[in-house]
Amino acid sequence: MDQFTLNLLVVGATFVLYIGIAIWARAGSTSEFYAAGRGVHPVVNGMATGADWMSAASFISMAGIIAFGGYDTSAYLMGWTGGYVLLAMLLAPYLRKFGKYTVPEFIGDRFYSQTARTVAVICLIVASITYVIGQMTGVGVAFSRFLEVDNTTGLFIGAAIVFLYAVLGGMKGITYTQVAQYIVLIIAYTIPAIFIALQLTGNPIPALGLFSTDTSTSQPLLSTLNSLVTDLGFQSYTGQHDTTLNLFLFTMTLMIGTAGLPHVIVRFFTVPKVADARSSAGWALVFIALLYLTAPAVGAMARLNLINTFYPEGVSQPAIELSAIDNDANLAWVRNWAKTGLLTFDDKNGDGRIEYNAYKDPTDGKPANELTVNRDIITLANPEIANLPGWVIALVAAGGLAAALSTAAGLLMAISSAVSHDLIKSQINPGISEKGELLAARISMAVAVVVATYLGLNPPGFAAQTVALAFGLAASSIFPALMMGIFSKRINNSGAVAGMLVGLVTTVVYIFLHKGWFFIPGTNSFTDADPMILSIKSTSFGAVGAVLNFITAFVVSNATKDTPEDIKELVESIRIPRGAGAATDH
């Protein structure tokens, strides 16, 4: 059976599974559409949360980031997993106890203000839309490579699948579909990693193989990789090259951004009890860790295999000949990915070989590297680079699509809930019936799918950095409002609104200025500028925006009217159960 047919069968089977689950779990009420009827078991919810969180960025991009960034990119692992600790300890149980459907609903009620609710809706929609662009684009890329259709066709197919199971099933359908998607993606991620770890180290556990001996050199694998990349002129793989301040702020931005992303938070509204919310976060961390502990090994081993592909006799010997790419069966993956434009090579010096290095041409000072590899292809191309069986390649294709579709569905659900429940039901038409609200929710979801598809087809100039913008927005606007809403009685509506706006605006302005996205006559640059404040990059500014949010909220709240007594009682009831401490008189 040829690879295309195998890909089609495996991916098609998973799509049939997703649609079948959606039909079985069709939402019949607003409670089922928004919160799956609050009847999801915490283990099941933890698995669904894992799929919701592990997007195309985690499955497709993270190993590539680690492969080329080394130690400095460990912040992604610490930040994205650490965010769930914050969720479990500081947010999830209290928000579930509040008993509402959406994040803006909590903010609106806690800060007794429709303005606060509206600002929260704006933050939610902007953060979610920017995040979902990358998911839909990732769907198109995966389809274009593995099903041999153009990017546009692939994106339309993916959008149609999401439309069917998200619009039909709502949160109930999405939850159980995400459980299936988690199983698909974790199997698809770990099986190739096990194969490659065995090939390189003889250890079947990738996370342990990363610290094992490379069988070809009898040296620790990381020592071998360090030696290769430095000999080629790249920075050491295990060394720190970014500033400590920026690494700290970046990690914090990812952590509080994770805890503030609406599509993650709403997952904890689906469990029966408050205790289940904290338990769900713990299980989610376990399920996420299965992939995140494997990702560093996938990245390091992929970089090692990539170098060995182009320097099969060692980096001290000449690189492979250009003609070999057209004729060598072991280099078929290079030809396949070159067709997508995500891998390019150019014999700049005309010596008939493809050099992969970080040196510069002594004649003109230009980079001499003749190979360009998009970081997003590393996980998807890994089985091909290692010459693994065709069924493994097909499984990885299905896993990548499962990761992108599961997160896209969660984001679209958050957008739909905000529009139908927090705008239409709350402000535009309070008297709408449950049936009417359910219809409005489904229409909102359908519109969100169309918008996300359009933006995936025609991404704005900053689409490549949308993840940074989404995390920065959530970290600087939503997370502080939730924290202060739960743990501070003094923060009033004026303080909350002012804080969210300051955090939102300062973060957006910094990112846009840093990236060069504001129009400047005579320029058309979308590359990173030098950090403007100390060593803070745009991807790290969300933590700074959060601090500005907190400071603004406290200053404004202390300069305006005190929080009403009934709101203080609400905060007390959320944090401390009635009668707590009575037995010990505390």
CB-CB contact of 515 with 526 (8 Å):
yes
CA 88 to the chain's CA centroid: 19
What letters, b where the CB count within 10 A reaches 16 and e where it falls short, cover 550-565? bebbbebbeeeeebee
328 belongs to a structural domain: no
93, 129, 137: which is closest to 265 by C-alpha? 93
Question: In sequence order, what are the residues at sequence separation of 6 or more whose Cβ sits closer than 8 angstroms to the Cβ of residue 416?
Answer: 441, 442, 444, 445, 448
Q: Give CA–CA dist 13/36, Å, rounded.
A: 25
50 belongs to a structural domain: yes
- Number of structural domains the chain divides into: 1
Cα angle value 324/330/333 (rounded, 5°): 95
351 belongs to a structural domain: no
- CATH number of the domain encompassing residue 544: 1.20.1730.10
pTM (2 d.p.): 0.82
Q: What does the block give as tokens for 365?
A: 């000072």
Q: Give CA–CA dist 342/337, Å, rounded.
A: 6
210 belongs to a structural domain: yes
- What is the band of 135 on the pLDDT scale with cuts at 50, 70, 90? confident
Q: What is the pLDDT of residue 30?
A: 62
Reply yes or no on whether the pLDDT at 386 is more than 60.
yes
Q: What is the pLDDT of residue 303?
A: 92
Question: In sequence order, what are the residues at sequence separation of 6 or more whose Cβ sits closer than 8 angstroms to the Cβ of residue 300?
Answer: 66, 67, 210, 221, 222, 225, 237
Percent of the chain exceeding pLDDT 70 equals: 86
Q: Give CA–CA dist 143/158, Å, rounded.
A: 8
Q: Out of 332-346, 362-376, 550-564, which region has the weakest mean confidence (pLDDT)?
A: 362-376
User: Tell me: the pLDDT tens digits for 408-456?
Assistant: 777 777 788 788 877 888 788 888 887 887 788 788 878 888 887 887 7
Q: Give CA–CA dist 294/437, Å, rounded.
A: 43
126 belongs to a structural domain: yes
Q: What is the pLDDT of residue 240?
A: 87
Neighbour-count burial of 527, counting CB atoms closer than 10 A to its CB (0-12 exposed, 13-18 middle, 19+ buried): exposed
Q: What is the pLDDT of residue 422?
A: 79
165 belongs to a structural domain: yes
User: Tell me: the pLDDT tens digits for 447-503?
Assistant: 888 887 887 776 544 344 456 667 888 899 999 999 999 999 999 999 999 999 999
Q: Give CA–CA dist 342/353, Å, rounded.
A: 20
CB-CB contact of 412 with 448 (8 Å):
yes
- What is the band of 528 on the pLDDT scale with cuts at 50, 70, 90? very low
Q: Give CA–CA dist 418/428, Å, rounded.
A: 13
- Average predicted confidence (pLDDT) for the chain: 81
1, 8, 5, 2: which is closest to 398 by C-alpha? 8
101 belongs to a structural domain: yes
Among left, alpha and beta (phi > 0; psi -120 to 50; other), residue 387 is: left
366 belongs to a structural domain: no
Question: How is residue 489 annotated by DSSP?
Answer: S
Q: Reduce the DSSP state of residue 156 to 3 states and report it.
A: helix
Q: Give CA–CA dist 225/213, Å, rounded.
A: 11
HSE value, Cβ hemisphere, 13 Å, CA-based, for 348 = 17
User: Could you tell me the residue range of the domain that residue 41 belongs to?
Assistant: 3-302+389-575
Q: What is the pLDDT of residue 482?
A: 93
CA-to-CA separations, 458 to 126, 403, 541, in angstroms, rounded: 17, 22, 27
CA-to-CA separations, 521 to 517, 518, 525, 531, 564, in angstroms, rounded: 12, 10, 11, 21, 51
Q: Give CA–CA dist 396/188, Å, rounded.
A: 5
Segment 571-584 mean pLDDT: 58
Q: Give CA–CA dist 190/193, Å, rounded.
A: 5
Reply yes or no on whether the pLDDT at 165 is more than 70.
no
Long-range contacts (CB closer than 8 Å, 24 or more residues apart) made by 232-240: 232/307, 232/315, 232/356, 232/357, 232/358, 232/359, 233/357, 233/358, 233/359, 234/357, 234/358, 235/70, 236/70, 237/70, 237/71, 237/300, 237/303, 238/70, 238/71, 239/70, 239/71, 240/71, 240/72
CB count within 10 Å of CB 329 equals 6
- What is the band of 581 on the pLDDT scale with cuts at 50, 70, 90? very low
- What is the band of 179 on the pLDDT scale with cuts at 50, 70, 90? confident
HSE value, Cβ hemisphere, 13 Å, CA-based, for 322 = 14
